[in-house]
Amino acid sequence: MSAFRGIVFDKDGTLFDFASTWEVWAQGFLARLCDGDRAAAAALGASIGFDYNARRFAPDSVVIAATPGDIVSAMLPQMPGWAPEALLDVINDEAAKAVQAPAVPLVPFLQGLRGAGYHLGVATNDAEMPARAHLDQAGVTGLFDFIAGFDSGHGGKPAPGQLLAFTAHTGLAPEVCVMVGDSAHDLHAGRAAGMACVGVLTGIAGHDDLAPHADVVMPDIGGLPDWLAGQGA
């Protein structure tokens, strides 16, 4: 039997494939925000590490691991006349509509973990509202014991507040929990909380970026049940 009883997942790049979801969405969102002006959209994309013409995020893009508030701060110099609160509302509303690309078929995957007795959580630097919308879209919201965004009152990653809130909610000790994510922010948060850490390659970061911070790095979350089964008590 596995030594672990709780699993906390990042959302973007972990439960959902990052590039397949957000690179398509970002190009359309920037075009709408700039009223179809390609030059303006390209300049705005550059401010957040997105190549508009190539439809690709840079590995160090603020979008990958930061909060929507950080994205707003990066975009505002290119958007005179916009108030931060108004831009944040637009980003959250538009992000909630993004069509998600699950990293694996999520319903059977998560049902299998729950059937094996694991408590499940989501800790994302996205806002909670669009995060829940994405989980609803995938039909998996009810399979999680705990869902937190950066604005849920526990802070954002790489700080461990969301993960410690998961342990408080479930009554589990951190050492019997695993943090699963696609970025160094996720894994730093896991280590700070005292959890084991699993890296996945369905985000932008590569194996060599994640390996120094993870107990194991796998192509996607599909390999998690077998790895957990090998972690005997």
3-state secondary structure the chain: CECCCEEEECCECCCECHHHHHHHHHHHHHHHHCCCCHHHHHHHHHHCCEECCCCEECCCCHHHHCCHHHHHHHHHHHCCCCCHHHHHHHHHHHHHCCCCCECCCHHHHHHHHHHCCCEEEEECCCCHHHHHHHHHHHCCHHHCCEEECCCCCCCCCCCCHHHHHHHHHHCCCHHHEEEEECCHHHHHHHHHHCCEEEEECCCCCCHHHHHHHCCEEECCHHHHHHHHHCCEC
Instruction: Indicate the number of domains in the chain.
Output: 2
Residues 115 and 75 in one domain: no
> Would 1 be classed as within a structural domain?
no
Range of the domain at 222: 6-17+102-229
> Which of the listed residues 96, 126, 155 is the one where a domain comes to its end?
96
Is the domain of 89 the same as that of 44?
yes
pLDDT by 10s per residue, the chain, length 233: 579 999 999 999 999 999 999 998 999 999 989 999 999 999 999 999 999 999 999 988 999 888 899 999 999 999 999 999 999 999 888 888 889 999 999 999 999 999 999 999 999 999 999 999 999 999 999 999 999 999 999 999 999 999 999 999 999 999 999 999 999 999 999 999 999 999 999 999 999 999 999 999 999 999 999 999 999 75
CATH code of 122's domain? 3.40.50.1000
State whether 110 and 217 are in the same domain.
yes
Q: Write down the pTM of the prediction.
A: 0.91
Q: Quick check: is 143 in a domain?
A: yes
Domain annotation covers residue 140: yes
- Do 113 and 222 fall into the same domain? yes
Both 222 and 110 in one domain: the answer is: yes
